Every structure is written in structure tokens, then in C-alpha cells.
Structure 1
Amino acid sequence: MYQVGDNIVYPMQGVGVIQSMEEKEILGKKEQYFIIVFPVNDMQLMIPESKISTSGVRFVADSPAMDNVLTIFKNGERDTSLSWKQRYKTNMDKMKTGNLQDGAEVVRDLMLVNKEKALNPSEKQMLEKARKFLVSELQFIKGISNNQAAELLNTAL
């Protein structure tokens, strides 16, 4: 399914590249591992081949999918009936899916809340992380700089 050189998105980490596949022995068990490098976080992650399908890893979206998400981002509405605790749980669940649209909704909703009132520290941190992931995928898909992607996102709302 995935191969060395594939560009992927890993939930809660963002855009990465499968750098290699290596056989590793961990706790006495030999298994193939995907070695994924995340340039945005300057991080490397190993995922066992047997767990890749349940890990939430997905291929980076294409440009039409991103354009669709940006349209939803611009025109969607947030649920104002939720308390901050409910909103936090809902947003955390969305971020864990790794789904592009879910991540964009988290960014949009928290940016809108932030325009009305200051976010609490937990939500502020969540917004920064979700925004970073969305910007990194937008940057990758559109072939633009990080600053250009951030500006495009700001103008979309």
C-alpha cells in the first residue's frame, strides 16, 4: 500500500515522507517498520507494517480535495452551543482522525472562537497544532512557502 518516498499524513503529526522500510527486532519480535520523517516537526517515527492500516496514516490530499476543504473552511459554521470542554473533546477527536476536513474544521472553529473571545490555554495550543498541520499540507499540495500557505489560510476565513 505505502512505499518508500510516499508523502503521507499522520494524525497529530502532519505531513511526512516514508524514508525507508527496515526490519527491526523489538522485544524479541522481528517486524518490518516504516520509517517516516516529518520535516515540519524535525521528527522521525517508526510504525510497524502490521499497524499502518489502523494508524490513521493517509496519503497527502490532492489539490482539488484541498480546494474543496478550503471552500468548506470559508463557508462552514461552527456549533456555538458547545461548552469549551465539549468543544475541546470534539476537536481532539477530529484531530485524531487525521482527516483533512476534520482538521480544517478544528482550525476554522477555533479561529472563529478566538475572534470572539480569548481561547483558554488548551484550545490555544490545539489551534496552533491543528493550524500547523493544515498549513503544512496546504504548503505541500500547492507547492508554496509556509508563509504563503499561512496567508492563504488566513484569507480563506
Structure 2
Amino acid sequence: MFIIGDKIVYPMHGAGIVEGIEEKKILGETRRYYILKVPCGDMKIMIPVDTSDDIGVRRIISEAALIDVMSTLEDVTSEMSANWNRRYRENMEKLKTGNAVEVAEVVRNLVRMDREKKLSTGEKKMLSNAKQILLSEIILVRGMGQIEANDMVDQAI
């Protein structure tokens, strides 16, 4: 269980700070929710406390683990399917894990692919989402602003 002030990651949405834990009645069911404040986009997310483990909510990575993430961004592009549909599904599976290194891999590969040949609309949207997820965690790990974090990622790739 997390407490107010904890920095956590919600897969597919990004990292944020637990601002509160509230009981809410939604669709006739009363449950406790973490209220997560995400640094990118000034968004708040409600996460059911009782299913947070099942959906992969975790604490943010350490500074040491961030070094692995940055190394992944600098690393060679991993092999991707030439088939757009298969590549999209494979990348989506990586994003769903919530693993920062896998998210960084998706960002790196899509950025480099976009440089070679323009991405489809779906992959552009996926890249934007993956980058926001990655940036939100870097912002909280390093205590930096979004522009700084974005520059750091862009320079690494």
C-alpha cells in the first residue's frame, strides 16, 4: 500500500505523486482510490487501491535504475517487425508492463524509425504517449522540469 507523498508509476499513464487516498462511490460501488497527480499535463488519476498491484502500480525507479534507462536510450535500435500491425502490438505490450527500460526501448526505436521514415499516425500517437510516460518518471526521479527531462531524453537518443 502506498501513502500520501509516495512517487508511483501507473502503467500506460505515467508517474505521479499520491496526493490523497479517498473513498468514492462509482457505479454504486464504494472503493478506496489513490489520487495521483501526474507532473506532465497537470492531470489527476484515480487508481483503485484494491487492484493497484494487479494493474502493475509500482514505486518510481531509483537513480541507479535511471542510468539503465538512459543506457537503453543510447543503445542500438532493437529489431522490430516490418509489419506495422505486429510492431504496434509488440510495442503496446512493452508499454503495458510499466517497466521503465521497456518504455525507453519503445521511445528510442520509434524516434529513430521516425527519423528514417515518417511514422504512421498510430505510431506517432504511441511515441508521444510513451515519451510522456518516460518523462513523468524521469521528472520525479531527478526532480527536474519537463523541458530539461525532454532535452535529456532527446540527447540520449
TM-score (norm 2): 0.91
Which residue does 2:148 correspond to in 1?
148
Single out whichever of 69-78 and 96-105 deviates more from structure 2: 69-78
How do 1:6-155 residues align onto structure 2 when only pairs under 5 Å count?
6-155=6-155
**SS of 2:56's equivalent?**
coil
How far apart, in 2, do the equivalents of 1:148 and 1:12 lie?
22
CA contact (8 A) 2:88 2:123 kept: yes
How far apart, in 1, do the equivalents of 2:151 and 2:107 lie?
14
Note the C-alpha offset of 1:35.
1.7
**Letter of the structure 1 residue corresponding to residue 92 of structure 2:** M
* Superimposed CA distance per residue, residues 47-66 of structure 1 (whole angstroms, 9 cap, x where no aligned partner): 22211111221111111101
**Identical columns (%):** 38
CA contact (8 A) 2:106 2:130 kept: yes
How far apart, in 2, do the equivalents of 1:82 and 1:71 lie?
25
**Which ranges in structure 2 are unaligned for 5 or more consecutive residues?**
none
Query: Does the C-alpha gap of structure 1 residues 119 and 59 become closer, same or farther in structure 2, counting only changes over 3 Å?
Result: same
CA contact (8 A) 2:81 2:87 kept: no
Note the C-alpha offset of 1:88.
0.6
**Which ranges in structure 1 are unaligned for 5 or more consecutive residues?**
none
Q: CA RMSD in A?
A: 1.6
TM-score (norm 1): 0.91
